[in-house]
Amino acid sequence: MTDSLDPARRIVYTGAAGGVGTMTRPLLAKLYPGLVLSDRVQPANLLPSEKFVAADLTKPDEVAALVKGAHSVIHLGGHSVEGTWDQILNANIIGCYNLFEAARVAGVKRVIFASSNHAIGFYPRRKKIGTDVTVRPDSRYGVSKAFGEALGALYSDKHGIGVTCLRIGNVGPSPLDVRRLSIWISPEDLVQLFQIGLEHPDIRFEIFYGASDNEASWWDNSRAHRLGYRPTGKAEEFRAQAEAEQKKLPPDPVGDLFQGGTFASAEFTNDVKRAGP
């Protein structure tokens, strides 16, 4: 395990006050006791043992101060759903650039970038895809995640930072509906992927799917498995519950065709036969 109490191995966690940050913080704290949490505002339930540094990702000087002296960054910060162009531009495009650039200047060795399934959300559900497919974003948000992956590749190839992009499905204690039976990931499995990104000696530039061991998966995650990923979450165990929840949702004939669901159908003006690969 990385000795995260050693200041030279300091790990910074952006977006720590958000939903995924809140679910994974306690698990990460056990593995990496010196973890530095960051967000724009301090989480209400911060423990006395937890370190917190406030930073606004759109402010390069604040991001530079945050990552100074860090060994690794887990970057979850930014806007986590579809938003206006202004919101996405600031939080996810400019914010992500500021993060990678500050990491380069500070000599950070590894970055884990929280990408999303929405970078490939226009792939049809009937198609199983690997991590090597062309991106097909389903939203401005998805475009920003594809941008973050491209930025990660640039900083890996040009500056030698070990970058792991996680195309996260949906994180939670259980899958919320039928779509999430294919893309769900437990907080424990996500932390396992963080750990591979932080510690595996072969990491240069990687894209993994952030998904548990889901029978209905649309994704080939064999590269993550080759690097030691052994997910324990199984969406199928929650099928009855997810199907019952699905019945409460309005019909979505467009979203139901594509992996991104409602992100794909929102603002959709095309003919479905002409959408996706």
Copy the structure tokens of residue 145. Answer: 């995640």
Region near ligand 15L per CB under 6 A, out of 30-38, 51-59, 62-70, 115-123: 115-123
- Determine contact, residues 73/99, Cβ cutoff 8 Å: yes
* Secondary structure of residue 228 in the 3-state scheme: coil
Region near ligand 15L per CB under 6 A, out of 8-16, 111-119, 198-206, 245-253: 111-119
Under rule CB under 6 A, residue 80 binds ligand 15L: yes
Q: How many chain residues bind ligand 15L (CB under 6 A)?
A: 6
The nearer residue to ligand 15L, 119 or 196, going by C-beta atoms, is 119
117: left (phi over 0), alpha (psi -120 to 50) or beta: alpha
* Secondary structure of residue 39 in the 3-state scheme: strand
List 25, 71, 110, 118, residue binding ligand 15L (CB under 6 A): 118
Region near ligand 15L per CB under 6 A, out of 41-49, 113-121, 185-193, 247-255: 113-121
Under rule CB under 6 A, residue 116 binds ligand 15L: yes
Under rule CB under 6 A, residue 212 binds ligand 15L: no
Residue 40 sits at the vertex; the CA angle it makes with 34 and 46, to the nearest 5 degrees, is 45
141 is catalytic: yes
DSSP bridge partners of 129: 219
User: Taking the C-alpha atoms of 101, 72, 155 and 218 in order, what is their torsion angle to the nearest 10 degrees?
Assistant: -120
List 4, 38, 72, 117, residue binding ligand 15L (CB under 6 A): 117
Backbone angles phi, psi at 224, to 5 degrees: -60, -40
Under rule CB under 6 A, residue 221 binds ligand 15L: no
* Secondary structure of residue 10 in the 3-state scheme: coil
Under rule CB under 6 A, residue 92 binds ligand 15L: no
Residue ranges that bind ligand 15L, judged by CB under 6 A: 80-81, 116-118, 170
Active site residues: 141
